[in-house]
Amino acid sequence: MRRRVGVWARRVVAAWCVLVVAGCGGGVSGGSGGDVAGVGSRTPPPAPSRAVVTAVPADGAQDVAAEGAVRVTVGQGRLVSVRLADAKGVELPGTIGPDGAAWVPDGPLPLGTAFTLDAVAEDDQGQRAAQHSAFSTVARAHTFVAFFTPEDGSTVGVGMPVSLRLSRPITDRAAVERAVRVTADPPVPVAAHWFGNQRLDFRPRQYWAAGTRVTVALRLKDVQGAPGEFGTQSRDLHFTVGRAQVSTVDLDAHTLTVRAGQGGKVLRVLKVSGGSPDHPTYRGVMVVSEKYKLTRMNSQTVGMGDEYDIKDVPHAMRLTASGTFVHGNYWADPGVFGTANLSHGCIGLADVKGGTGKDTPAAWLFEHTIPGDVLEVRASAGDFVPPSNGLGDWNLPWEQWGQ
């Protein structure tokens, strides 16, 4: 089930994790997805929302026009909320029509900007469905910009690399690399690595130390990255590394152990269900890149046909660009957690519908996790996650990183 591996830059390909007929999606490729009523469920799952939310442009779209290209519609329901925001979290205004069936932004979008679009709708029974997408607008002709992770001013976990996605293919990588400087306080060596010709990442040899302050100096203005293509940015970005939290997932033992601090003190051991033998979860180091209290997981987005479409997967946290998540699961028999691996590749924890529970294992993990936190996944079988898949930088040995 290996899926295409796209550049991480706030991308959300609808998830694919589902416990057999009811889990998550990662599968042989660690993808994304979600399935319905699980085999062995003791009671039928709650009825899914009939509302069908559609957002355009498609998730992961690039070079989107500034006007007339963004729209959200819903069938068999009404839109409850729509949020269009740029990378800084600044929301752009929009209007939901009188009948609640459609939303459009109130004006043109800025050029060369990354956006996230989140919509929630409900059907006539009050059941909610969610839809998330991420896209970027077209840059001005003959220029390129860098979309960056993490966000300026953010606090992140110890595994967060600096990841730049360039809006145009770069042929003079050395020139672009020289125009970016990443420094840490307290100081630590930081090196760069290219994944293809549009992604440039930076990281230290080992995870950042808690409390580290990182500065990214972008001096891309007037740098020629390719014939006739010049950078436009000259700015400094800053982020802070928060408390250390590195968790281990033992898929043979069906446990997720949350450890904190330099000494790795155990905070909690949670029961999980990972990928089945047919769709094993990726092994290796994975870093949380995004969090969604409620999101949709659809097998069609990862080429698995109509196997499942779960519109309200709770407490979902993205681990790979191809769609591996750790998330809550309310539709499977609670007995599978801690005893069996039955998903399509994601890591599932017990939860309740709607993500309203405060004390469920999935809710606890969600509240105690920030982007940049690390999950080290171990198992006796399954492929290792490619370093370019999401924020998997740590899976490339340091000796190869600077090459």
Q: Strands, DSSP E only, in 41-110? A: 52-56, 61-64, 71-75, 78-86, 91-92, 94-96, 102-105
CA distance 58 to 307: 21
233-238 contacts at long range (C-beta below 8 A, 24 or more positions apart): 233/145, 233/146, 237/148, 237/152, 238/152, 238/153, 238/213, 238/214
Phi-psi region of 197 (alpha: psi -120 to 50; beta: other; left: phi over 0): alpha
Q: Are 282 and 30 in contact (CB under 8 A)?
A: yes
Question: Is the Cα dihedral 49, 294, 66, 163 positive or negative?
Answer: negative
User: 279, 315, 344, 346: which one is catalytic?
Assistant: 346
Active-site residue, selected from the candidate residues 132, 315, 327, 344: 327
**Total length of the chain:** 403
Instruction: State how far the Cα of 251 lies from the Cα of 247, in Å rounded to an integer.
Output: 13
Catalytic, 142? Answer no
Q: Which of 273, 343, 274 is nearest to 310 (CA)?
A: 343
The one-letter amino acid code at 55 reads A
Strand partners, 134: 116
* φ and ψ at residue 360, rounded to 5 degrees: -75, 155
Distances in Å between the Cα of 78 and the Cα atoms of 69, 125, 262 are: 21, 11, 48
Comparing CA positions, the residue from 196, 92, 194, 214 lying closest to residue 150 is 214
Distance CA(153)–CA(137), nearest Å, equals 23
24 in catalytic set: no
Q: What is the DSSP string of 145-184?
A: -EEEES-TT-EE-TT--EEEEESS--S-HHHHHHTEEEEE
Looking at the annotation, which residues are catalytic? 327, 346
